[in-house]
Structure formats: C-alpha cells, structure tokens
Amino acid sequence: TAAPSHSVAEEERRARANDREYNEKFQYASNCIKTSKYNILTFLPVNLFEQFQEVANTYFLFLLILQLIPQVSSLSWFTTIVPLVLVLAITAVKDATDDYFRHKSDNQVNNRQSQVLINGSLQQEQWMNVCVGDIIKLENNQFVAVREVALQGNKSLPLFLADRNEETNMKVRQAIPVTSELGDISRLAKFDGEVVCEPPNNKLDRFSGTLYWKESKFPLSNQNTLLRGCVLRNTEWCFGLVVFAGPDTKLMQNSGRTKFKRTSIDRLMNTLVLWIFGFLVCMGVILAIGNAIWEHEVGTRFQAYLPWDEAVDSAFFSGFLSFWSYIIILNTVVPISLYVSVEVIRLGHSYFINWDKKMFCVKRRTPAEARTTTLNEELGQVEYVFSDKTGTLTQNIMVFNKCSISGRSYGDVFDVLGHKAELGERPEPVDFSFNPLADKKFLFWDPTLLEAVKMGDPHTHEFFRLLSLCHTVMSEEKNEGELYYKAQSPDEGALVTAARNFGFVFRSRTPKTITVYEMGIAVTYQLLAILDFNNIRKRMSVIVRNPEGRIRLYCKGADTILLDRLHPSTQELLSTTTDHLNEYAGEGLRTLVLAYKDLDEEYYGEWAQRRLQASLAQDSREDRLASVYEEVESDMLLGATAIEDKLQQGVPETIALLTLANIKIWVLTGDKQETAVNIGYSCKMLTDDMTEVFVVTGHTVLEVREELRKAREKMMDSPYAVGNGLPCPEKCSSAKLTSVLEAVAGEYALVINGHSLAHALEADMELEFLETACACKAVICCRVTPLQKAQVVELVKKHKKAVTLAIGDGANDVSMIKTAHIGVGISGQEGIQAVLASDYSFSQFKFLQRLLLVHGRWSYLRMCKFLCYFFYKNFAFTMVHFWFGFFCGFSAQTVYDQYFITLYNIVYTSLPVLAMGVFDQDVPEQRSMEYPKLYEPGQLNLLFNKREFFICIAQGIYTSVLMFFIPYGVFAEATRDDGTQLADYQSFAVTVATSLVIVVSVQVALSASDTINHFFIWGSLAVYFASPLTWELSRGEQGRPRLPLASPGNAQNTLAQPTVWLTITLTTVVCIMPVVAFRFLKLSLKPDLSDTVRYSQLVRKKQKAQHRCLRRVGRTGSRRSGYAFSHQEGFGELIMSGKNMRLSSLALAGFATRSSSSWIESLRRKKSDSASSPGGGADKPLRG
C-alpha cells in the first residue's frame, strides 16, 4: 500500500480547524487513497523490475545474456526467450488485472461524496479532496471517510459506530463536550481549535490527543474519535474534525499484510532448486573436463575439419567455454516454468475454494474465500489447530435457557435423562401472546415459569424485575411496541429479552430513570447508581428507587464471586441454587447469579457521599470505587440464570473428525476456565472417556511446574520417568521427552489458566509445557490475552516443526491468525478484523473440515504429484544431453531440435502436468471425510520430501538413460528400409523426442484421474504429432516452408520408418513397465490408505456396504460454569454521566411526552397505580 507522504517520522500531529493554510505546512497525507501500484506508463518498467527481482527470472535473464556470446551459445536465443517472455507475460497479466481492480476500488472510494465545511457553508466534496483540519458533516448510515474527532453530535447523543455492514457490535462514541455547544454552522466555521495528537499508527482501540481551544486544554480519547471505514448509526448527523486522512488512517494502516507467509513446500522447493543448481554445475564441470580432454586428445588432430574458434587457444579454454555452453543447454533441470506453474496451480486451488458450494453459508450469503493464494497445499499438512471459542466454536448468540428462582429450577422439564432434547422432539414453545411487547423470536419451553409469573409469585416477579433493571442495554423503539435492544454483550441482551417476554419489558431509560412495563403497567424507577461491570469485579449492580420510594440494589454476577457475598441467612437457598448451578454448568450453560439488597435511605445517602468522594479522587480512583462498591454489594440471593452459548452448527462433528485425522485442537479463549471446559465438553473435545483431564491453575512458577510434572508422571505412568526426566528440565533434551511422551497411551487433556500460562510460556518452562501439552489429545487455554494466543502458536511453530492453523473471528484473534502458518477468519458477529488478517475466511467453523480434509488434502496431494512429475520430466528431458555429450566430443551439441527444446516445457508436456496439479483427485471428496486418516500423509510430509525428490530424479535419470541408449544402440548400425542412413542427427532427435513425449505422457496418464487431465494429456500428445504437420502444411511457393524450419520433412521421414516406431515402442515399454510393476507390487504388499480406500470402494460398489457414521457421544458430568460476561465495561458510565444519555431520536419521538420530559410526574402517577400491583399485576390492563 501507499507509504505516508512524509519521510521523516512524525512525532506528533497538529491539525487546526478551518485553517487549510496552516495545516498544509505539515504536508500531511491527503485523503486520496492509492492502493494501486502502477499506472499505464509505469506498468511495464515497474512490473518488469519487480519480476526480475525474483531469483529465477534473473537467472534466466543471465542465461539469455550467456546465449548472446557466440563462443558460448549452444542454443538459439529463442529457446530461452520464448519461455521467459511467456512466464513474464503471465505474471504481468495477473499483476495487471489485480491492479485494475485496485484502481477501480480506489476510484470508487475516492469519489464518494462528503459534506465539508468550506468558507462557512457546507459543500459537497469528493473524499479525495478532504484534508486534515477540515470540518465535515456526517449523516446517519454514512461511511466515515477519515479518522476524525467528533466535535458535535446530534443533540449530544452518543454516537454509534458500526463496523462496515455489521449490525451487531456497535461502538459508542461521544462528541467532545465543549464543542458540542457550538451550535450552528456559522459558529462551527469560526471554530479554530487545534488538535495535537499521536502520529498515525495501527492501534485501533487507542487514541490520545489534546484539543487546544480558547487557551484551554481538553483531553481527547478513543471515545471521541470516529474511525475510517465505519458507519454512523443511530445518529442523525455529527460534525467532525479531520485528524488523519488517507493512508494515515487506522484502517489503512491496518490493512497491509504484515508478513509474507511461505509454505514448507516453498522452502523445500527453494532448497531443491539450489541442489539442482549444484548438480547442474557438477554436470557442467564433468562435461567441460571431458571437452578439454577430448580437444586435447582428438580435437587438435581434427582441426583441418573442425578448427578451434579464434578465441580458443588451448583445450583448457575450450573446456571452460563448453562449461558455459552446457550450463545453457542443461538449464532445463531448473525449469523456468516451475514457479509460474506452482502459482497457477495454487490459484486454481484457491478458485476451487471460492467456488465451493458446500462452503457457502446460505444464512449469511458468504462464500468461503481464499484471501491468500500461496498457502493452499499447506492446508493439507496441518497438525495443530488453534481455535478461538466465542464466535468460532460458538455462535456468540446467547439464549436464555434455564433459571432457578428461589430454589426452584425452571426450563428443564423435558429433560428426563439429563440430555438436551433435540429441537424436533420438543413440544410447542411457551405462548407469549398475552404480552404485545414480547419478542417473537424468543423461545422457551417450560410453561411453569410463565404460570408462576402469571400467578404473581413475588420471587419470580422480583427475579424478572431485576433482569429488566440491572443492565446497561439501550432500547430503541422504531414503531410503537417494536422494541430493539442494543446490548454491549449478547449475554445481557438475552437476559433483558427474557424479562421482556415474561412481562417485564424494559422500555426506555433516561440518565436518571428506567421505565419498565411490568405486566403491562408502566413503572418508572429512579436510577440512583450503576455499579458497572468489570473484569475484576465480575458483577454489576444497579441501585434504584421504586415508585414507592424504596431503595433497592440489584446485582448480577459470576457465581464464584457472588455466592461468597451472600447474606448468611440464605444458606438453604444457597445450597439448592448451587445444585442448580452445577446442573446448568454441567450442560455447558453460562450461569449467572442474581441477588438483591434493600437499602435504607440514610445508609444510601451516606454511601452515595462516599462514592462521590471516591470518584473524585485523583489517584487510584478505580480501587477506591471498587472498595466502595464492595461494601454495598452483600446481598440476598434471588436465583440464577443459565444462558446457552449456542454452539455453531456441526462443531462437535467437525472436531471429532479433525481429531480422527490426527489434528490436535487447542482452544485458546479469553473465557473463564469453567465456561471453556464446558464448551470443550459440549463440542466433544473433552469426553468422559478420557483418562484424565489435567487442570493447571498454579499462580507461581513452582506451582505450575509441579502441576505440569504431575501431569507428565501420570501420563507416563511408570516410575522411572519420575526420577529421570523432570526435575532436570535442562538435562533432558526435548527429543528425549518427546520420545517418552509420544508413547503415552490413553487420552489426556490439559486445561491451563491464563496466569499459569504466563509462567509456562517463560523460556525455561516452555519446552516442558509444550511436551506436556502435545502429549494431550486436547488442550484448552483459558483467560488468555491476545498476545498469549500468539505466543502459544509461536511456541508450537518453533519447536514442533508442524504446520499450525489459527482460526478466530474477533480482533483479539488477529495476532494469533497472523502468527500461525495459516490464519482462518470466521466472518461472523465480531466484525471483519480477523477476516482482514486471515488467509482464508468463511462463516462457519464446520467448513474447516472441508477446507482441510478435502481442499487442503487435495492441494497438498496435487502439488506433490505435480512437483514429482515436473522434476521427473525435466530430468528425463535434460539428462539426455549429458549422455549425448560423450558421443559428440562434449561440444555442447543438443540432442533435440531447437523448436522442441523451446516447446517441450511450455506446450508439449506442461499442460498435462499442470492439469494434474490442478484437477487430480485420488479419492472422491466423500471418502476423505469418511476416512480422516487419509489426511496423515500430509502431516508427515510423506508425498514430497527429499527422499521422494531423489526417487523422482532417479526415475528421470533412468528414463533419460534408456531414452538415449536404446535409440543409440538401434541407430548405430541400422539403416532405413530404403537403405539410406538412419542414424542422421535429425532423425535421432525426432526419435528421442517422440519417445520422450510419449513416455512422459503415459507416466502422467498412469496416475491421472480426471477427465480434463486425460484430455490435456492426449491433447498435448496430439499437438506434438500435429506440429510438424503444420510446418509441412505451411509450405508455400515451390514447396518451400514459410516457417523457418531447419529441416523440412524431418518428422515424417523419420516417423515413416518401422524401425523408429519399434524403437519408440521399446523405449516406452522399458520405461513404463517397471513403474507399473512397482505400483502393482506396492498395491499388493504395502498399500496406502488411499489405495485401500479406492479398492474397497470398488468392492463396495458391488456390495452396497453401509456407511460409517460418527457416533454421537452423549455427555454427562457436572462442571462449574461461570459468568462469562463481555470483557469490556458496559455503558454504565455513559448512562450515568447524564447529559449524554438520550435515546435515539426516533425512540424519543414516541416517548418524549410520557417519560423522559417529566419522569417525576409519571412516577407520581405510578405510585398510586402500583399500590395494588404486587398482588395482581397480571390482571391489570396494559398501560396504566
């Protein structure tokens, strides 16, 4: 992407409003986005320059230059230049199309309209003309063009920002208070504040700056800024001051790929090319020495007929020249088309991924996308999958599932066996039609709860009242009765929605009130305080005054935290609720404990005072507040809720399948241990069949080490390991540990906590941790930070030499996605940051099995086969020159026609091999899902490694030997059937070339499996035989060929000879038969799994055998679940800060008269109404 325009690192940024002249001094980047690399004029030079930076291309350029030296030239110039130009052209076309699309999208973005305040009036400007320091006006649903500081919002509302098109995950922003009062445009036009802030960077969630205006300073934080690429929502308009434009914006700073990933095959290929190059030099040296000797022994006496070149004065120098000549001739062992072919194949595979209907998510209408086209075959070698939990394994959609109200559990009536009943088996859901405000999408299956509500059970009422009051959800009412909730976390939304359906409808809120429709009656509570959630407190409370004037604190929070704070009088209730909690947690539900506390006026007054002091404190404000909160939150237990974090479709099956394919799955989540373990169980990562699940929760280095040691001891289960291995981590090398641990029998799992992980990742313990973890079938790391995620991936990557894949959906997975060999982004609820950083993206976790087991496996297989055949065919082709060298005085004479040399790699044999690389399928896709073990060769890197490479090379050399010596033996003595000479140079060339093309084609055909592939194989062969004909047919006047052909009639004269055909047949038979025999024996003696699968498929076709199905394992067990709230603070502060707190204008329109304008009035009215409400709320007509 484009670089910032200023070369010197910017230390701070200054932008003065409405002063373009002042801002121009700094030469900040303009808002014109340029992601394209070339324009029409620069394309050719720049693109060529880039292409020649590739070693391979430069190497061929070097060869081309060598060929221009007449003493060295052994081939015509076109044998090198044609392939080189072809390769360059293909790459250039690809680059040009890419750039064309970039130009198009740049233009589209740059020409978007925005309203800019120029000379006191709003004017339409194109995005690219917006400058730093401009004031622009944004309207609802508009894209933010630049990074800007919000100066003024619509009636000082909080601004909502949505990530591109996502409806969920809104971010709240607010305008700077001082500028909010500026009012109309004319005053804004005179605004001359100056913003001084940090230089451009790519941290999305951080911003610090200061606004200098009227000789005072105002702090600016991330809360005040709008990000480029976001959409303004729920706000009619807002004014903003442009701070960063174009390439300096955070979106653009983040969009560049940080690291270029290479596959292991790439690296292997580079090594091999180096080796081949070494081999080439060796051959050149041998032949050069041969040439020197020959010239010395024979050539000197032969000079009457074959004098040396003028430049050549000795046999030695002649040898030196012939070395270079041979380098040119033999260069085809390092084929120029290798790299471009590999790219083409990968591109093809990427398209197959994009095109795959089975990876298309109908619900979201998103196809899978291969965002990188260079990693495909590595998908077939994955050994470790690192997965995020929320949004990846789970849908991140929370559903209110069960609850326990004062000792009675609701919601699980139909679960006799303790199993979650399937959707189809459930009876009708509870009918909420009594409640016009109910959310139609909410489903609940236990009618007893609704009955309890209708009966007016005070506990149940209090329970739902709490749920409708104690939250930071915002409501929006687009039409009367059409409520929409905007929640910071899906958990909260689920709870408030549940309360809404059970007749406690949270309708609206103002900074100081909350209006709830309790069984149809509007009740307005005075909101005294929100004690907001944070990660340490793990609970939130509200203090409200009900219409009767009673002050009550409602609290909800994590069970572990809250149960300790309960009033001792509720012991009995406590134990029942704990039982319920255990039960819920055992089903993998996210639990939450609810409690309340009555406060008297006096106490509250005093407490509020202390709270105010704490909040005004300059230092350690957080701690002080926490302790003040702590004091008031000791509660009476009310009940518990259980929210189902719905697993994504097909997750357990996918995980089971991947496990069978020997892929180890590590879940790295920010969630609590209990939640993570539960999800682990519900998605079958952990099963009750497991021998043991180790839990590492140590807080100190020693504890962690001890826990890891114990785990290993148990796994090894033999006394010698205790004294031998572990107290001395330095001595026992990782190799030894691995060997011991790999032999571990039984299935183990490891659960490690974030703080333990921090110790385990330290340099002296990381190996221990790694070996322990790798011996386990499943690993769950909970409470990990994004950085730790990346560290874990890095650790495995560094020490295991295995291919790692990270999959996640959120911004916190980006580091992990970028670190792993392959990053997969789930395009889901949490925006697109993970997708932007990923190499592959799709919208459901279950597609991973298809990506790996089908596409990955095939890609790897195809790439390996391609490389094998590619090296094979080039060695078979080139080595013939080597053997011929011994018969032509090492004179660098080629065996083949120049045309054949030119076309061999780009026409005659490239397409079959390429088609094999793109289309080959060893077994149908269903089989690779049925037999996950088929994935293993990739993990073990069996199909293309150094050994396989040498086998290919050996086969190639074997072929070349036969290809040369059989025709040699025949031609040496034989004559044509008319008695003329058979052994002329050109006939020999045609014979060798023909048998070579046939042998190579047949070799490919032997393992080709696809119609297209066969088409290309036989098509290429046909082209080979047709090409001399074309030259023949192109003969014009006087029978002379129009094309410059060195030897007209060569091919047909040669191929008309029975002897030649007998030779070709013999060569083919001798080259092919051993291969067939070897394959047949291997099939009989040591068949691959894929061979067996194919064979059994044949057998099955006759037998109609049954399908193997994955057994669904039912799970029982009891674990503790926890309060898995969102990890950010809610809207609490914002709500209580008062002046910013308004509903969206639409909601206001419907409500302004009733509640927000004069809440006291309605409060007074309510007081009289609700005198009778505790008893018979349900019987009251709606709306008092």
Partner 1 sequence: MKRTSEDGQSKLPDNTALKQQQLPAYRLQLSATGVLSCFFATGVFCLGMGIILILSAKSIKEIEIKYTKICGNCAKLREDATNFDKECTCSIPFYLSETMQVKGEREEIQAYTFLFTVSSCIQDVGNCAPFSKSHDGTPIAPCGAIANSIFNDTIILSYKLNSSIPIKVPMLRSGITWWTDKYVKFQNPSSINLSSAFAGTTKPPCWAKPVYELDGEDPGNNGFLNDDFIVWMRTAAFPTFKKLYRRLNRIQYFIEGLPAGNYSFNITYNFPVTRFKGEKSVVLSTLTWSGGSSLFLGLVYTVTGAVTWLASFSMMAVHLTLKDRKVLFIQQ
Residues between 95 and 134 with contacts to partner 1, criterion CB under 8 A:
101-102, 105
Catalytic annotation, pick one of 106, 248, 356, 388? 388
Q: How far is CA 41 from the centre of its chain?
A: 36
Q: How far is the CB of 1017 from partner 1 (least distance, A)?
A: 11
* 972 touches partner 1 (CB under 8 A): yes
The answer to whether 574 touches 567, Cβ cutoff 8 Å, is no
669 marked as binding residue? yes
Q: How far is the CB of 357 from partner 1 (least distance, A)?
A: 5
DSSP-derived secondary structure letter, 175: -
Contact code string over 884-913 relative to partner 1, x by CB under 8 A:
---xxx-x-x--------------------
Which of the stretches 284-292, 672-680, 692-700, 1001-1009 binds partner 1 when contact is defined by CB under 8 A? 1001-1009
* 1012 touches partner 1 (CB under 8 A): yes
Q: Nearer Cβ to partner 1, position 267 or 1079?
A: 1079
State the Cα–Cα distance between residues 417 and 309, nearest whole angstrom: 96
Which 551-610 residues touch partner 1, going by CB under 8 A?
Answer: none
* 1019 touches partner 1 (CB under 8 A): no
User: How many angstroms separate the Cα of 983 from the Cα of each of 326, 973, 986, 1062, 1064?
Assistant: 24, 8, 8, 15, 15
* 1148 touches partner 1 (CB under 8 A): no
Q: Nearer Cβ to partner 1, position 445 or 840?
A: 840
Contacts 24+ apart (CB under 8 A), 1053-1060: 1053/987, 1054/986, 1054/987, 1054/990, 1054/991, 1055/990, 1055/994, 1057/976, 1057/977, 1057/982, 1057/987, 1058/977, 1059/970, 1059/974, 1059/976, 1059/977, 1059/982, 1060/982, 1060/987, 1060/990, 1060/991, 1060/994
User: How many angstroms separate the Cα of 54 from the Cα of each of 50, 51, 58, 327?
Assistant: 7, 6, 6, 20
**In the numeric block, which tokens belong to residue 865?**
């086969």
Contact code string over 63-82 relative to partner 1, x by CB under 8 A:
-------x------------
* 360 touches partner 1 (CB under 8 A): yes
State the Cα–Cα distance between residues 581 and 583, nearest whole angstrom: 5
Among 971, 1123, 1131, 1159, contact with partner 1 (rule: CB under 8 A): 971
Q: How far is the CB of 803 from partner 1 (least distance, A)?
A: 23
* 1088 touches partner 1 (CB under 8 A): no
Helix (H, G, I), strand (E, B) or coil at 492: helix
| 388 counts as catalytic | yes
Q: Nearer Cβ to partner 1, position 787 or 1098?
A: 1098
Q: How far is the CB of 298 from partner 1 (least distance, A)?
A: 6
Which of the stretches 219-227, 472-480, 699-707, 1046-1054 binds partner 1 when contact is defined by CB under 8 A? 1046-1054
Contacts 24+ apart (CB under 8 A), 648-652: 648/392, 648/393, 648/394, 648/395, 648/844, 648/845, 648/846, 649/844, 649/846, 650/844, 650/845, 650/846, 651/393, 651/394, 651/683, 651/845, 651/846, 652/682, 652/683, 652/684, 652/1112
Q: Nearer Cβ to partner 1, position 387 or 1063?
A: 1063
State the Cα–Cα distance between residues 411 and 452, nearest whole angstrom: 12
* 1001 touches partner 1 (CB under 8 A): no
Q: How far is the CB of 990 from partner 1 (least distance, A)?
A: 11
* 1041 touches partner 1 (CB under 8 A): yes
Which residue, 1155, 1114, 1030, is CA-closest to 422? 1114
* 1075 touches partner 1 (CB under 8 A): no
823 marked as binding residue? no
Q: Nearer Cβ to partner 1, position 21 or 973?
A: 973
State the Cα–Cα distance between residues 151 and 952, nearest whole angstrom: 69
Q: Which residue has the tokens 């008695």?
A: 979
User: How many angstroms separate the Cα of 787 from the Cα of each of 633, 761, 813, 831?
Assistant: 34, 11, 9, 20
The answer to whether 263 touches 378, Cβ cutoff 8 Å, is yes
The answer to whether 426 touches 483, Cβ cutoff 8 Å, is no
Q: Nearer Cβ to partner 1, position 1022 or 1062?
A: 1062
* 367 touches partner 1 (CB under 8 A): yes
* 772 touches partner 1 (CB under 8 A): no
Which 35-64 residues touch partner 1, going by CB under 8 A?
Answer: 35
Q: Nearer Cβ to partner 1, position 536 or 1056?
A: 1056
Q: Count residues contacting partner 1 (CB under 8 A)?
A: 102
* 987 touches partner 1 (CB under 8 A): yes
* 372 touches partner 1 (CB under 8 A): no
* 355 touches partner 1 (CB under 8 A): yes
**In the numeric block, which tokens belong to residue 986?**
């050109």
The answer to whether 641 touches 592, Cβ cutoff 8 Å, is yes
State the Cα–Cα distance between residues 643 and 495, nearest whole angstrom: 8
Which 382-411 residues touch partner 1, going by CB under 8 A?
Answer: none
Q: Nearer Cβ to partner 1, position 202 or 1096?
A: 1096
Strands 521-531 and 513-518: antiparallel
Which of the stretches 679-687, 730-738, 762-770, 977-985 binds partner 1 when contact is defined by CB under 8 A? 977-985
Q: Nearer Cβ to partner 1, position 320 or 968?
A: 968
Beta carbons within 8 Å of 786's beta carbon, 6+ residues apart: 811, 812, 813, 814, 815, 816
State the Cα–Cα distance between residues 180 and 764, nearest whole angstrom: 55
* 1070 touches partner 1 (CB under 8 A): yes
Which 637-676 residues touch partner 1, going by CB under 8 A?
Answer: none
Which of the stretches 280-288, 447-455, 487-495, 974-982 binds partner 1 when contact is defined by CB under 8 A? 974-982
Q: How far is the CB of 65 from partner 1 (least distance, A)?
A: 18
783 marked as binding residue? yes
Which of the stretches 452-460, 478-486, 646-654, 1066-1074 binds partner 1 when contact is defined by CB under 8 A? 1066-1074
Q: Which residue has the tokens 């990381």?
A: 766
Q: How far is the CB of 301 from partner 1 (least distance, A)?
A: 5
813 marked as binding residue? yes
Q: How far is the CB of 1023 from partner 1 (least distance, A)?
A: 20
- Phi, psi at residue 1123, to the nearest 5°? -80, 105
Q: Nearer Cβ to partner 1, position 99 or 378?
A: 99
**In the numeric block, which tokens belong to residue 911?**
């397409």
492 marked as binding residue? yes
What's the first-to-final CA gap in the chain, in angstroms? 62
Beta carbons within 8 Å of 200's beta carbon, 6+ residues apart: 4, 10, 13, 244, 247, 248, 249, 250, 253
Q: Nearer Cβ to partner 1, position 442 or 1061?
A: 1061
State the Cα–Cα distance between residues 83 and 104, nearest whole angstrom: 32
Which class for 357: exposed (0-12), middle (13-18), buried (19 or more C-beta within 10 A)?
exposed
Among 134, 148, 163, 356, contact with partner 1 (rule: CB under 8 A): 356
Which 301-320 residues touch partner 1, going by CB under 8 A?
Answer: 301-302, 304-307, 309-310
* 13 touches partner 1 (CB under 8 A): no
388 marked as binding residue? yes
Which residue, 549, 538, 539, is CA-closest to 598? 549
Q: How far is the CB of 101 from partner 1 (least distance, A)?
A: 5
671 marked as binding residue? yes
- Phi, psi at residue 249, to the nearest 5°? -70, 160
* 440 touches partner 1 (CB under 8 A): no
**In the numeric block, which tokens belong to residue 340?**
């471009």
Among 62, 603, 1025, 1095, contact with partner 1 (rule: CB under 8 A): 1095
The annotated binding site for Mg(2+) is made up of 388, 390, 809, 813
**Residue set of the binding site:** 388-390, 492, 533, 556, 590, 669-671, 783, 789, 809, 812-813
Catalytic residue numbers? Answer: 388
Q: Which residues are annotated as a binding site for ATP?
A: 388-390, 492, 533, 556, 590, 669-671, 783, 789, 812-813
